[in-house]
A and B are shown apart, each in its own frame.
Chain A
Amino acid sequence: MSELKEELKAKIIEQLNLEDVSVADIADDDALFGDGLGLDSIDALELIVMLDKDYGIRLSDPKEGKKIFESVQVMADYIQEHRTK
């Protein structure tokens, strides 16, 4: 699980071009949107594509993303449970 969380942090940084942010800067429970990392709706779309491409999880309802992308911890839990690859 902790490996998956580290992997997710690295992917978020790379995928979303978070300059000046390192894996160590993101705590497992940090909010990804709003006051936390400050991600926005375009980032949410990037994360939806990442879930599909890398973990075989297709979100049928984009609104689900709001809950799933709350933090790295929540994302990792969701991926662990639903991943098909």
Chain B
Amino acid sequence: MKKVYINSIASISPQKTFDNTIFLDEITDYNDTVIFAQDPDYKQYIPPAAARRMAKGIKMGVVASKIAMEEAGIETVDAIITGTGMGCMIDSEKFVSAIIDNNEQYLTPTSFIQSTHNTVAGQIALGMECKAYNFTYVHSAISFESALLDAKMQLESDEAEHVLVGGVEELGEHTTKVHRLINHIKPEAVAISKVLNSKTEGAVFSEGTNFFVVSNERKESCYAELVAVETFNTLQKEKVSETIETFLKENNLKAAEIDVVVFGNNGDVDFDSFYNQLSEGILSKTQQVFYKHLVGENNTVSAFGVWLASKILKTQTIPEIVKINKINPSDIKTVLCYNQYRGQNHSLVLLKKC
């Protein structure tokens, strides 16, 4: 089996992360219940004629894919695989609203065409004229990891040499209202410095995209080796430690050998205990980092966790703003990412220095 490398990364998030030359140097402070992605200059990347039909999620995905492709130094890929939990919400809401408002008459084509879950992957393929494998995984909080696993398997078996893989979510007004009604969004505004110790239910919701070029050939730009990806739809809280130890054992590692663990804490008082039991248990002596206080919660935000892990491995630095504890490992060789959402759809991603 061939090894798999993350050769480039790109992130558009509520922080200024689209510039790969910096690493969370400037932090945008939020005190809100919903936070939006910071826009790069889309016109630099997308012709106006194409951009006019694209909602924010599509623009973010197309631009992030272009940044990732440019950094990897390649023109095309053997597969484009995306993950999205909610798909293109803005156009979906527009289309459904039009059906209701116009009594199922006068349905316009644009919002329908742009509302499918595969729209982002499709637009990327159209832009680079790539007729290769094109697939979108829609599986709640493990949508991105499902896409990553598909890419990894194709690369390991040499069915593909370079794969563009990413996750994307955009905020839709109506969907946000619904999430508020069911208390999945925090009832009160939370400052980023207070998210970790928040004592209320729900999360600060957000949008964003993260793309990666993964290859079975190590490039000069390489960030990390992608060693393992595993997902679990259901996992009891008391089984998480054991599951992680088994996952590590399968990769010839022990918990003590993990240099950095990237947790998906979102400040939800009902579910952060999934992480807290690890930070106080088998990973208590490991450098722990988190990121959802900076970029919020959405179905594919765990891809930001992989972005963060990749950056840490390549730069061998950990920004103070993401540290939960202060172990400060001198040589960072192995990083484990663990995420879950509302006690379901758990994922483990293991990366190594390349």
A residues sitting closer than 8 Å to B (CB atoms) are 15-20, 38, 42, 45-46, 49, 52-53
Contact = CB atoms under 8 A, between A and B. Distances in A.
Contacts of B52: 16-19
A60 B49 CA distance: 29
Contacts of B106: 49, 52-53
Contacts of A53: 102, 105-106
A51 B113 CA distance: 20
Interface string B92-113: 0000000000100111111001
27 contacts: A15-B108, A16-B52, A17-B52, A17-B53, A18-B52, A19-B48, A19-B51, A19-B52, A20-B48, A38-B49, A42-B53, A42-B109, A42-B110, A42-B113, A45-B108, A45-B109, A46-B108, A46-B109, A46-B110, A49-B106, A49-B107, A49-B108, A52-B105, A52-B106, A53-B102, A53-B105, A53-B106
Q: Which of A15, A38, A52, A53 has the most CB of B within 10 A?
A: A53
A49 B48 CA distance: 23
Contacts of A38: 49
A52 to B, nearest CB: 6
Interface residues of B, number: 13
Nearest to A15: B108
A18 B109 CA distance: 16
A20 B47 CA distance: 12
Contacts of A42: 53, 109-110, 113
A15 B108 CA distance: 10
Contacts of B113: 42
A75 to B, nearest CB: 17
Contacts of B108: 15, 45-46, 49
Contacts of B109: 42, 45-46
Nearest to A47: B108
Contacts of A18: 52
A22 B163 CA distance: 41
B44 to A, nearest CB: 14
Interface string B24-61: 00000000000000000000000011011100000000
Contacts of A46: 108-110
A46 B114 CA distance: 14
A16 B109 CA distance: 11
A53 to B, nearest CB: 4
Most chain B C-beta atoms within 10 Å of own C-beta, residue among A16, A17, A18, A20: A17
Nearest to B107: A49
Nearest to B52: A17
Nearest to A53: B106
Contacts of B51: 19
Nearest to A43: B110
A48 to B, nearest CB: 9
Interface in B96-134: 102, 105-110, 113
A51 to B, nearest CB: 10
Contacts of B110: 42, 46
Nearest to A39: B49
Nearest to A45: B109
